[in-house]
Structures are given as structure tokens and as C-alpha cells.
Amino acid sequence: MENQLSIYNSLNRTKEKFEPIHENHVGMYVCGPTVYSDVHLGNCRTFVSFDVIYRYLLSKGFKVRYVRNITDVGHLEGDTDIGAEDKIGKKARLEQLEPMEIVQRYSNGFHAMMRVFNTLEPSIEPRATGHIIEQIEMVQSILDRGYGYEKNGSVYFDTIGFAKKEAVYGKLSGRVIDDLLVETRTDLKHQSEKNHPSDFAIWIKADPSHLMRWNSPWSVGFPGWHLECSAMSTKYLGKNFDIHGGGNDLKFPHHENEIAQNYGACGCAPAKYWLHTNMLLMNGKKMSKSDGNSITPAQLFTGDSEHISKAYSPMMIRFFMLQSHYRSTLDLTDESLLAAEKAYRRLMEANGHLQNFKHSGGAATDEAYEERIIGLIELMYLNMDDDFNTPRVLATMFELVPEINKIQSKAVDLHSISAATLERFQASFKEFIYDILGLVDEAAEGANANEALDGLMELIIDLRQHSRANKDWATSDKIRDGLQALKIQLKDGKEGTTWSKE
Ligand code: AMP
Ligand code: ZN
């Protein structure tokens, strides 16, 4: 099929025809989680969005290398670049664990959650701590090209020098060099080591209490958070690659600084297309743990939250996420979940009917009717080609659902459409539901449902282990009692915890 895909490019703030750098190949880098706490639903929304994008690129026949990193060092409290504690280091200090134990625990939890949401694994999942050498080399290249300076063992990126020469600093986030220059005069005195307040650390000298540190030409220290993504995307996708993604909260400073670093190190733009997902809200407000306006994925699956009236299945939540466009905010409310659940069942039920239809060939078709059906099938692909517009895809599918139901109830004769059109109809629905949208028919597909259950149990066992490690006995008892009520037994053994169902 001809490639008609267009993508909204945050860098240019326009929708552009997607033309990969190397024909038929796509390199895509997505900023992964910082593994210092349980993955939250907002993160899941972003990763589900990129999963659908990945799946659609695959379905169009592209050979995709999808790189999604794990941030396990350098991401500081308050998302600042220097002077604050490392998020993972802090958790390790509080729990008296090795930082890598924290990283392993929350990476496991993240992977279990990604399986529960039926996302495909990325092609490469690099960790920042595994790429310290590459990061040191990149800092050196930035210094060699005159875009960095060292002060007291830390290395900073010279944003003003860079912005004057390359004129790309601020392009993604819309900051202009004049703003940065004004800030120079007003804020400089507050930033003792930096030449300019907008400069950011790319290598940070560690104080002796810092748990994660490495030798470098400048100090025993650790790399800056922004640097890891520049170094790992370059290593696995090259100096120029196709797509870079993440949540829109990462546009500034994280992505802006990534672009600066790549230019700074090699004089080239990293990604051709920048894609940003929008944030998850609950009841119209930003989902936030601190003011109680938050819900965990586990609470959604068990129904154990004041914000919802019942439990919702992971596939239902995935469907719910796909009902809004990745660039729009997604507002989670109980009513919208209830409505989505009904719609999800209606779609799955209709698909079950559709896949069972058997055409006996021959017979005269109703030309106008057939044309309408073909038009809607083609529209599903056109909608997806239009910046991965999943809500419009679903709306089109819901125009087809009543037609399936009419054929099912014999209000319309199946032979109003040709055998070839029926085949196309069946194949497109299958492709969209399972391969592109990544949904699983929980009711109809016992095997898949069991797989989801395995993933869920892995997650629940993981949550129980966390609560026990935190001495949160109330939660661990609640999990055990809740499972017992469902006739699920947990067995703790040397090799870990296993489960069985009566
Ligand atoms: P973090 O673990 O905070 O580094 O975030 C991992 C990914 O999740 C990033 O791409 C973030 O932009 C994204 N993200 C964080 N919070 C939300 C949210 N509330 N809604 C959607 N995406 C989010
Ligand atoms: Zn990143």
C-alpha cells in the first residue's frame, strides 16, 4: 500500500508527510520510565500510545527499530540538572538497598504492567548505567566542539554560545534567545558555577555520599539525565533517525537539551519527527498523588478506589485510552470508563459475529451498500494515516458495527456485499482490533485471557512484595485476603512466589 502517513511534528508544529530517512526503515526512540517508583497510569498512557504507533508502522510494512530506554541514573529530584538528589539514589538510601535493587524492582514492575496492557516489547531497551562510556564520549565531543565548559569537576552545556551559533536552541519548546540573554543579566549571580542560568549540567561531580558514580576525565561523577537519551539514541539509531517521542512534559528542558547536545556533539539534528503525547487527567484535573486525585493501575483492575464504582479490565482501559487522540489530554472519570466498557463490549461482540459470517458466493450484491462498506473500511486506514487518529478509527468502526449487527439479525442480507468485500471487512477488523490497536478479546479468547491473568498475577505478586518490603502489612493482607476470596492461593518459596487457582 502506498505510504500516506502524516505525522504531527512538534518541532515544526505542523502535520507533515512521513518520509523515513532510509526507505522502508524506521528508527524510533521513546523516553522510557525512571524506575524509582511504581509506573503510574499517566506513564502507561504514553507507552500505550507509542505502542499503537509502533504497531501501525509495523503493519504498514516498515522495518522498525524501537528503542525505549530505562532511566536508572541522573534523573534528579524536581527534574533539575544539578544540586538535587538522584531519584533512584534517594529511594535506595531511604530503603537501605542497592540502587540496582531499586532499579530491578521497578523495572520488573514496569515490564509486568506493559504486558498487562498488551504492549509489544521494544527492539532495544538500553539502560543509562550501561552506557556511561558513550555518555563520557559525548561530553568530550561537546567540549571539543566548543559547546561545553568545565567548572570544579562538573561539565556544563553552553546554551547561549550554542544558541548564537546554531539558532536551534529553543526551537522545540518555543523559547527565544532574547529571553535567555535577558535572564543572563538578572539571574547569573544565583548560579555560581554556570556561565548562564539556562546552561545545564552534562556531567556532574558527585559528592562522596552519592551512591552511583564513575570515573571520568573531569571528576568522579555521573551523567546528566538529558545526556543519556542523546547518547543511547545515537548509539542504536545513528546520528539522524526518524522519530523521537515522549510525554509533552518532557519537551522542555529534556528534549530541548537533547537536541542541543546532539548538535553540540556532531552538528546534526537527532530526530526528524518529534512526537509528544498529552497528559492523563482525572475528573478534569491533573492526576496527582499529592492532592489525592490519583488512581493506580492496580486500583483500576480491582475497583478498590473511591474514584470508581467498579473494577475495569486492562484491555478495557487500553480501549478507553485509544478513544482519545494521543495529542489530546485524556480525562479519566467513572462515567467515561463505564461508557467505554459498553462500547468495548459492543465492538468485540460485533467482531465475533463478523468473523463468523460465511458467504456462499454468487448472488447479486447491493452496489451502493457495498460501496459504503468499502468506503468505511478504507476510512479506518485513512484515519490512522492521519497522525494515528485512533478515536476517529474507532468512530468509523462504530459506523460499521450497526451494519454487522443488521447482517447478524438478518435485517440486511449478507450477500448485499460480495465474498471479497466480506473477506476484506473481516481481515481489516481483525487487523485493527488485534494487531494495530493491540486489544485482546478477553471474553472470547480464553488463552489470551489466561495470558492476561498471568500478567496480572505477576503484577499483584510484585505489589504484595513491595508492600511487604515497606512493612505495609495492611496492603499485603488485603491482597492475600482478596485473592483468597477469588480462590487464588499464593505460595512463597525459595524461587519466589507462585500462585494457583482452585
Ligand atoms: P518518567 O518516569 O517520569 O520519566 O516518565 C516516563 C514517561 O511517561 C515520559 O514520557 C513522560 O512524559 C510520561 N508521563 C509522565 N506523566 C504522565 C502523565 N500524567 N500522562 C501521560 N504521560 C506521562
Ligand atoms: Zn529521554
Report pLDDT digits (tens) over 360-369.
Answer: 987 688 999 9
Q: Give residue 413's identity as a one-letter amino acid code.
A: D
Tell me how far the alpha carbon of residue 302 lies from the centroid of ligand 1, in angstroms: 23
Residue 481 pLDDT: 84
Q: What is the pLDDT of residue 442?
A: 77
Question: Nearest Cα to 489, choosing from 461, 448, 470?
Answer: 461
Whether residue 384 is predicted with pLDDT greater than 70 in this model: the reply is yes
Mean pLDDT of 212-221: 97
Residue 449 has pLDDT above 70, yes or no: no
Ligand 1 centre to CA of 42 (Å) is 6
CA distance 423 to 428: 9
pLDDT of residue 499 exceeding 80: yes
What pLDDT shows up at residue 328?
A: 98
Distance CA 122, CA 113 (A): 14
- Beta-carbon neighbour count of residue 242 at 10 Å? 24
Best of 34, 39, 46, 70 to mutate for ligand 1, by most ligand atoms within 8 A of CB?
46
Non-local (6+) Cβ contacts of 386 within 8 A are 6, 15, 392
Q: In a mutational test of the pocket of ligand 1, which residue from 43, 111, 243 has the highest number of ligand atoms less than 8 Å from its CB?
A: 43
- The ligand 1 atom at the shortest distance from the C-alpha of residue 248 is 12
In whole angstroms, what is the distance from residue 92 CA to residue 212 CA?
Answer: 10
**Percentage of residues in the chain with pLDDT exceeding 70?**
95
pLDDT at residue 167, rounded to an integer: 74
**Distance from C-alpha of 395 to C-alpha of 399, rounded to nearest angstrom:** 6
For atom 19 of ligand 1, which residue has the closest CA? 42
Q: What's residue 189's pLDDT?
A: 47
147: number of Cβ within 10 Å = 23
Question: H helices of 303-357, where?
Answer: 314-322, 334-356
Residue holding cell 488485603?
Answer: 478
Q: What is the Å distance from ligand 1's center to 484 Cα?
A: 34
For residue 55, how far is its CA from the centre of ligand 2 (angstroms)? 21
Atom of ligand 1 lying closest to residue 39 CA:
2
Instruction: State the closest ligand 1 atom to the C-alpha of 250, by its place in the atom list counted from 1.
Output: 12
Atom 6 (ligand 1): residue with closest C-alpha? 33
Q: Which tens digit of pLDDT belongs to each residue from 65-110? A: 999 999 999 999 888 888 888 999 999 999 999 999 999 999 999 9
CA of 315 to the centre of ligand 2 (A): 27
pLDDT score of 444 more than 80: no
Nearest CA to ligand 1 atom 7: 43
- Asked if the model's pLDDT at residue 446 lies above 70, the reply is no
Phi-psi region of 312 (alpha: psi -120 to 50; beta: other; left: phi over 0): beta
Q: How far is the CA of 232 from the centre of ligand 2 (A)?
A: 9
Q: pLDDT band at residue 186, thresholds of 50, 70 and 90? A: very low
Mean pLDDT on 325-342: 97
Give the closest residue (by CA) to ligand 1 atom 11.
247
Q: Which residue did the predictor score with more confidence, 142 or 456?
A: 142
Please tell me the total number of residues recorded for the chain in this structure. Answer: 502
Q: Are 433 and 439 in contact (CB under 8 A)?
A: yes
Tell me which residue has its CA closest to atom 15 in ligand 1.
Answer: 43
Residue 487: its pLDDT value, please?
80
Nearest to 460 by CA among 488, 439, 493: 488
Burial 374-406 (b: 16+ CB within 10 A, else e): bebbebbbebbbbbbbbebbbebbeebbebbbe
Mutate to test the pocket of ligand 1, among 249, 258, 275 (most ligand atoms within 8 A of CB): 249
Closest to 50 measured CA to CA, from 3, 117, 105, 4: 117
Beta bridge partner(s), residue 387: none
Could you tell me which residue, 211 or 446, shows the higher pLDDT?
211
CA dihedral for 461, 466, 469, 474, sign (positive or negative): negative
Question: Cα dihedral angle (358, 363, 367, 369), rounded to 10 degrees?
Answer: -40
Pairing of strands 241-247, 25-30: parallel
pLDDT band at 20 (very low <50, low <70, confident <90, very high): very high
pTM given for the model: 0.87
In the structure, what pLDDT confidence band is assigned to residue 348 with cuts at 50, 70 and 90? Answer: very high
Mapping DSSP to helix (H, G, I), strand (E, B) and coil, where does residue 3 land?
Answer: coil
Average pLDDT over residues 39-65: 97
Q: Could you give the CA distance from residue 236 to residue 28 in angstroms, rounded to a whole number? A: 10
Question: How confident is residue 21, by pLDDT bands cut at 50, 70 and 90?
Answer: very high
Alpha-carbon distance 56 to 82, whole Å?
A: 39
**Residue 263, C-alpha cell as written in the block:** 548538535
Number of Cβ within a 10 Å radius of residue 192: 8
Report CA(75)–ligand 2 centroid distance (Å).
10
Give the single-character DSSP code of 455: H
Site residues for ligand 1, CB cut-off 6 Å: 31, 33-34, 42-43, 45-46, 71, 246-247, 249-250, 277, 279-280, 287
Which backbone phi and psi does 22 adopt, to 5 degrees?
-115, 125
Protein residue with its CA nearest to atom 8 in ligand 1:
43
Q: With a cut of 60, say whether residue 190 has pLDDT above it.
A: no
Instruction: Calculate the average pLDDT of the chain.
Output: 92
CA distance 479 to 482: 5
The predicted-structure confidence for 241-289, as pLDDT tens digits, reads as follows 999 999 999 999 999 999 999 999 999 899 999 999 999 999 998 877 6
Q: How far is the CA of 233 from the centre of ligand 2 (A)?
A: 9
Percentage of the residues of the chain whose pLDDT score is greater than 90? 72
- CA–CA separation, 349 and 395 (whole Å): 16
Residues 6 or more apart whose Cβ sits within 8 Å of residue 251: 10, 172, 173, 276
pLDDT at 493: 82
Question: Across residues 399-426, what is the average pLDDT?
Answer: 97
Q: How far apart are the first and last CA of the chain?
A: 50
Atom 18 of ligand 1, nearest CA residue: 42
Confidence grade of residue 211 (pLDDT, cut at 50, 70, 90): confident
Q: Which DSSP helix (H) or strand (E) runs through 484?
A: helix 473-485
Whose C-alpha lies nearest to ligand 1, atom 12?
247
Q: Pull the grid cell for residue 400.
A: 460499521
CA 208 – CA 388 distance, rounded (Å): 48
Rounded distance from Cα 127 to ligand 1 centre (Å): 17
